[in-house]
Structures are given as structure tokens and as C-alpha cells.
């Protein structure tokens, strides 16, 4: 599914802005077909945004179930000749869309785009009404998984239920990314895949795309344009390769992008469709202990992040996104992981443009119930249906993100219960499937098991490890990190001979809390803990990256270990630096291992 972009043959209109909104507390909407007539008793709701933190009503914040969105819009008469599409960047977690009461599409999975065709439904030159119902319920077959628990005991009123989930970020819901109307010609370029290789200073850009529609189009022009707009290579087929001598490479810190311009023509030479895809020329490879980008060893310096900000929740927030990339640059970071779900396409575009390296993760988080002896990888919980949904999500993510040069690795999940026997066939299937779809990028699963317990790391290309010595294990004992971490990292390496990225390490620090000698929750403790990890990582050559948890403080569900959210950010939720941010900035100015 190509990201909607304007061109000579394509138009685009955003439906971002205020929508009419109504929470369906009594579960009536679907039965009463609320999509058939204008909603009554609505409030204003911005799109894109999470709805949870917009009002003063905690009932809405904590609502479990459906909410309805509605908006009216016009499309010009001239669009009658076109294929008119409606695209939702993401809606968490399940959505059904109607236009003028006619169902257009439905989708499950809260972090990826979906679309439907409106051409035969829409009133051209007249008013149209779009209705979207969004449901936030998670179950064992959704990604991320969760479970609605009905609590039946004398401590709770009859019918009391909660949405349980075993991951550590607030279950924000709503229409999180833009809703866009766009047109393509009726015969349109549907999908483009570009991969790049470099041999002896010559870049080979392999490409493939297809055209769908009534007309049989066989005349194409495929051109590669540099930043100045010069055509540096061209071809005529829909599956071929372009050669570029002395290419400007996409590099960490220098996101040089070419424009891959595809045009299709009628036999008489008239333009049918045109699409411009930004691409970067680069290679990625793991060789021995090293992660190579363009043949050079790359050391990951950066963070696990979240899409999370005040009021917007998980809704697309251009202000925060641009600020975050400025802070990444200020910190001298070169990479981040899209923990724990695919981020917006707008963020991925920024990473491409700014040369920030990305580990791209599917929303497979919470597949582990800490401290409870419950097996998850079986038909009762994470069985065949969950696996199929996981496979579909990987497929959709790769389809969406395959052309981003910033994406150097796929992560098929975070901290699953990989000590269970049942996790082995499950992840074997996922690793194989991911490689089948894309053999140009390494595949990982972010781990929290101990090396002696893990059963799946051999299926993947690189070990990504989250560790919390002196926080969840031996809280307060900074002096143990050196011993414990070194031993464990050596054990991982001895067992699998794969390079290791520490994809999470860090401590909660409440900005402004100080105590020296350090105690937990102070800025001093956060700094000291991070520094202790560095000492170990710096002496182990097979450690090839450090992603501090987390970039910024973020919202979580309420609980006794969370103080108005998770405070492991080195920036506050409002993006102000804590002491640790200054410390990292100094460390990352150079390659930590040089
Ligand atoms: C983890 C999780 C992350 C949590 C973090 C923490 O291991 O991957 O989602 O937020 O620990 O702070 O507990």
C-alpha cells in the first residue's frame, strides 16, 4: 500500500481536524446502526489523537469498548473520473468505516494503515458523511495481546470488568494517524519495491512494481533523480534495475535521498499515473561480530522510544516528532527502536531524511506474564490464531516499510516468554516468514530471558537484550551491575556467537529528585546506573549497540511501580533533559568504543 502522495495524476485531501465523537457506553451503536444517520449528543474530538486525555472525564479515559467518530465532507465533481480512496493511517485497535451508511472497510491492528475504495459510494459535488467506530479491546489474538477480565467477587460490583494487558504503556485508543482522501487514476501504480546494492562504487537499484486497472498499460518510464532533480538513471520496464555510478549513499547521520519516479503511459504517450518514492542507497549486513551499514561497522547509540505526548497520547504529533528528532541530534544519538509497535509513516519519513537508523518492531509485546507460572504459547492463549495474526502484521509492516532506508532490521516482538517450549515453533515460523518476505535485512526478537533459559535466539540474526540489573533485580545495588552484566553478556555470546545490542537499560528518575550518594528514582541514580552498564559494554567487543530505556517519560496504566507513568525517560514527557541526557550527549559525541 503506497503512502498517499500528490502528483500530476493524484490528488489528496486530509480529513484531519475536529470530528463529532460519541463513546458508546451502553453498547448500543452497532445494534442501532449509528452509521445510518447523523450521530446525536456528540462532543468535539480532534483527529488524529488519542481520545483518552482530551476531556475531563475519567470514564472516557478508561472506557473499554466502542467509540464513534463522524465527519461530513465534499469531494469535487472532477473526482468522478478518478479512483477515490479513503485511508486511515491507524486506528487503535479495531475499526469499521462507513461512508453515507455504506460499509467501506474494517480493520484490526492498531498501528498500521488501512484503506477502502469510495468511488461508487461517494456523492460527487455533494455532502458525504463518514462514520468510524473504533474499539480498543485486546484479546489473546490481537497484537498486542490482552484480556478483558470480568471480576466476580464480593469486593467488586456485579459486571465489573477491566482490560488487562501485560505491557508497560497506556492503552491509548482512537484514530491515531491521519484520515486521508486521495485519488489515483482508474489504472494505477499499485506497489513498488526497491532494494539496493553497491558493487565497486556502482549502485544497483533493483525495483519492481505493478499496475492495476482497466487499461492495459505497458509503457513505463522509471527515473532516478538526485536531490537537485537531475536524472541519474532511467529504465522502461516494471521490473528491472538501475545502475548509478558514484552514488551518494544513505548513511547514518546523512540521509541522502533520491527520488524514484515511476510513470505509466497510454500507447499514444499520454500520462496515466505518476508516483514519486523517496529512496536511499545503502546496504546492511551482519558479519561476524559486526553490524555493517555500507560495509562499515555501525554502533547503535540511541533509545527505545514511544509515540507518546501530553494530551495527544499516541496521536500523530508533528510538533513532538520534529522536536524528538532535534533532541536525537542534540544527544548525538544515531538510532532508535520503534518500541513496541510500528510508528507513523511520518516518523519513518523523518528518519529517512535525517539519517537516523531504525529497528522496526511489530506490536508483539506483553507475551509474557511476569512472575506467574502460566504457559502462554498454547492453543488457550497464544495459539494458531494469534500466530496467524502475528504473521499478517509482519506482512503488513514489511509492505508498509520495506522501502525505508532508515529501517535496518525487523524486530518480531519484545520480551516474549522464550523460555517456553511452545515459543520455539511459534518464533521459528515468524523468523522464516520474515526472511521470506525480506532477505535484505536482519531479523531479531528482543529478549528478556536469561541465556540459560532462552530457546529461540538461534532462529534470529542478532541478540537484542533488555536488562534491568540494580532496578528490578537487586534494586539499589549499582555495585552488582559490573559483575552480573558481564557474566550474562559473555554467556549469551558463548551460547549463540551473535553480536549483542542492549536494547533497554535504564532507571526511573523523577526530574528534580536528587540525592548523592545516589538512591533510586533520583537523577543521580539514573546516571550512575547507565554509566555502570557502559563500563561493561565498552570492554566487550561483541556488544554493538546501546539503546537507553527510554527516550522520554511516558504514560502507563496505573500501578504501584509507576509514578504518573514510567519515568525512565532521559527527557521528561515535555522533552526537557534530565542529567542523564547531558551525560549521554557527551558520551555519544564520539563512538563510545574509540
Ligand atoms: C521492559 C519493557 C518496557 C518497559 C520497561 C520498564 O523490559 O520492554 O516496555 O517499559 O521494561 O521500564 O519496566
Instruction: Among 466, 467, 501, 530, name the best residue to mutate to test ligand 1's pocket (greatest count of ligand atoms within 8 A of Cβ).
Output: 466
In the reported structure, the alpha carbon of residue 555 is separated from the centroid of ligand 1 by a whole-number distance in angstroms of: 12
Q: Average pLDDT of 439-458?
A: 97
Query: 429, exposed or middle or buried, with CB in 10 Å at 0-12, 13-18, 19+?
Result: middle
Cα(168) to ligand 1 centroid in Å equals: 6
415 is catalytic: yes
The one catalytic residue among 82, 115, 361, 415: 415
Q: Is the CB of 568 under 6 A from ligand 1?
A: yes
Phi then psi dihedrals of residue 117, to 5 deg:
-90, 135
Mention the CATH class of domain 187-282.
Answer: mainly beta
Grid coordinates standing for 567?
A: 519515568
Q: What is the mean pLDDT of residues 161-176?
A: 97
Mutate to test the pocket of ligand 1, among 308, 529, 566, 573 (most ligand atoms within 8 A of CB): 566
Reported ipTM exceeds the 0.90 cut: yes
Q: Quick: pLDDT tens for 100-140.
A: 999 999 999 999 999 999 999 999 999 999 999 999 999 99
pTM for the predicted model, two decimal places: 0.98
How confident is the model over 178-233, as pLDDT tens digits? 999 999 999 999 999 999 999 989 999 999 999 999 888 879 999 999 999 999 99
Write out pLDDT tens, residues 267-284.
999 999 999 999 999 999
Residue 413's nearest CA partner among 355, 469, 347, 457 is: 457
Q: Is 504 a catalytic residue?
A: yes
pLDDT at 591: 79
- 114 burial (CB, 10 Å; 0-12 / 13-18 / 19+) is buried
Beta strand 443-447 with 407-414 is parallel
pLDDT at residue number 594:
64
Residue nearest to atom 7 of ligand 1 (CA): 466
Centre of ligand 1 from the C-alpha of residue 594, in Å: 30
- Domain boundary assignment for the chain: 12-136+171-184, 187-282, 285-589
Backbone angles phi, psi at 528, to 5 degrees: -65, -40
CA of 504 to the centre of ligand 1 (A): 8
- What is the number of the ligand 1 atom nearest to the C-alpha of 506? 12
What is the C-alpha separation between 357 and 219, in angstroms, rounded? 36
Pick from 446, 386, 372, 451: nearest CA to 422? 386
Instruction: Establish whether residue 308 lines the binding site of ligand 1, counting it when its CB lies within 6 angstroms of any ligand atom.
Output: no
Distance separating the N- and C-terminal Cα atoms of the chain: 42
Mean pLDDT of 519-528: 98
Mean pLDDT of 82-98: 98
**Ligand 1: residue whose CA is nearest its atom 1:** 466
DSSP category for residue 492: H
CATH number for 12-136+171-184 (one of 3.30.300.30, 3.90.230.10, 2.60.120.260, 3.40.50.12170): it is: 2.60.120.260
Helix (H, G, I), strand (E, B) or coil at 526: helix
Inter-residue contact 168 to 114 (CB < 8 Å): no
466 Cα nearest atom in ligand 1: 7
pLDDT digits (tens, 9 = 90+) for 484-514: 999 999 999 999 999 999 999 999 999 999 9
Q: What angle do CA 549, 171, 169 make, to 5 degrees?
A: 15
What residues pair up with 296 in beta bridges, in sequence order?
Answer: 293
Q: What CATH number is given for 285-589 in this structure?
A: 3.20.20.80
Amino acid at each position: 500500500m503506497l503512502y498517499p502522495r500528490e502528483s500530476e495524476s493524484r490528488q489528496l485531501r486530509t480529513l484531519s481536524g475536529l470530528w463529532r465523537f460519541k463513546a458508546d457506553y451502553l453498547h448500543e451503536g452497532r445494534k442501532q446502526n449509528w452509521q445510518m444517520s447523523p450521530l446525536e449528543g456528540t462532543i468535539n474530538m480532534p483527529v488524529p489523537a488519542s481520545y483518552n486525555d482530551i476531556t475531563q472525564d475519567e470514564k472516557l479515559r478508561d472506557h473499554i469498548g466502542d467509540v464513534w467518530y463522524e465527519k461530513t465532507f465534499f469531494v469535487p465533481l472532477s473526482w468522478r473520473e478518478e479512483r477515490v480512496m479513503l485511508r486511515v493511517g491507524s486506528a487503535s485497535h479495531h475499526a469499521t468505516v462507513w461512508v453515507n451508511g455504506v460499509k467501506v472497510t474494517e480493520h484490526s491492528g492498531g498501528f498500521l494503515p488501512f484503506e477502502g475504495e469510495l468511488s461508487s459510494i461517494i456523492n460527487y459535488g455533494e455532502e458525504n458523511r463518514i462514520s468510524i467506530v473504533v474499539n480498543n479491546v485486546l484479546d489473546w489474538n490481537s497484537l498486542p495481546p490482552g484480556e478483558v477480565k470480568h471480576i466476580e467477587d464480593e469486593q467488586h460490583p456485579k459486571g465489573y470488568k477491566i482490560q488487562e494487558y501485560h505491557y508497560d504503556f497506556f492503552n491509548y485508543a482512537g484514530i491515531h494517524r491521519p484520515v486521508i482522501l486521495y485519488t489515483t487514476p482508474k489504472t494505477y501504480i499499485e506497489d513498488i519495491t526497491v532494494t539496493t546494492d553497491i558493487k565497486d562504487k556502482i549502485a544497483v537499484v533493483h525495483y519492481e512494481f505493478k499496475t492495476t486497472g482497466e487499461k492495459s498499460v505497458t509503457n513505463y518510464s522509471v527515473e532516478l533523480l538526485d536531490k537537485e532533480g537531475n536524472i541519474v538513471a532511467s529504465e522502461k520496464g516494471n521490473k528491472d534495475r538501475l545502475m548509478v555510478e558514484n552514488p551518494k549513499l544513505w548513511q547514518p547521520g546523512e540521509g541522502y535521498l533520491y527520488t524514484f519516479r515511476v510513470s505509466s503511459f497510454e500507447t499514444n504517450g499520454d500520462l496515466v499515473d505518476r508516483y514519486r518514492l523517496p529512496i536511499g542507497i545503502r546496504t546492511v549486513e551482519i558479519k561476524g561480530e559486526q553490524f555493517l551499514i555500507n560495509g562499515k561497522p555501525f554502533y547503535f547509540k540511541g533509545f527505545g522510544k514511544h509515540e507518546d505526548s501530553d494530551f495527544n497520547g499516541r496521536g500523530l504529533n508533528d510538533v513532538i516528532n520534529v522536536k524528538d528528532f532535534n533532541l536525537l541530534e542534540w544527544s548525538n544519538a544515531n538510532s532508535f527502536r520503534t518500541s513496541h509497535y510500528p510508528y507513523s509513516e511520518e516518523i519513518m519519513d523523518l528518519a529517512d531524511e535525517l539519517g537516523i537508523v531504525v529497528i522496526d518492531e511489530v506490536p508483539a509485546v506483553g507475551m509474557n506474564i511476569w512472575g506467574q507460572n502460566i504457559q502462554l504459547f498454547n492453543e488457550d492463549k497464544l495459539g494458531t490464531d494469534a500466530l496467524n495474526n502475528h504473521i499478517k502484521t509482519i506482512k503488513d509492516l514489511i509492505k508498509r516499510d520495506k522501502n525505508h532506508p532508515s529501517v535496518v532490521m525487523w524486530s518480531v516482538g519484545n520480551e516474549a516468554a522464550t523460555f517456553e517450549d511452545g515459543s520455539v515453533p511459534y518464533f521459528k515460523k515468524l523468523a522464516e516468514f520474515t526472511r521470506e518476505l525480506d532477505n535484505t535485512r536482519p531479523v531479531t526478537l528482543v529478549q528478556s530471558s536469561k541465556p540459560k533459559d532462552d530457546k529461540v535466539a538461534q532462529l534470529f540474526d542478532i541478540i537484542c537484550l533488555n536488562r534491568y540489573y540494580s532496578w528490578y533485580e537487586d534494586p539499589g545495588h549499582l555495585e552488582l551491575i559490573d559483575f552480573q552484566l558481564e557474566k550474562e553478556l559473555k554467556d549469551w555470546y558463548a551460547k549463540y556467537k551473535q553480536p549483542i545490542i542492549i536494547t533497554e537499560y535504564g532507571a526511573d528518575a523523577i526530574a528534580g529528585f536528587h540525592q548523592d550518594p545516589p538512591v533510586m528514582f533520583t537523577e543521580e541514580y539514573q546516571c550512575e546506573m547507565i554509566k555502570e552498564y557502559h563500563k561493561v559494554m565498552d570492554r566487550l567487543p561483541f556488544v554493538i549497540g546501546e539503546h537507553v530505556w527510554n527516550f522520554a517519560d511516558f504514560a502507563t496504566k496505573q500501578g504501584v511501580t509507576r509514578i504518573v507513568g514510567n519515568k525512565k525517560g532521559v527527557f521528561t514527557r515535555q522533552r526537557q533533559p534530565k542529567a542523564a541526557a547531558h551525560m549521554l550527549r557527551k558520551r555519544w559525541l564520539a563512538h563510545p568504543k574509540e
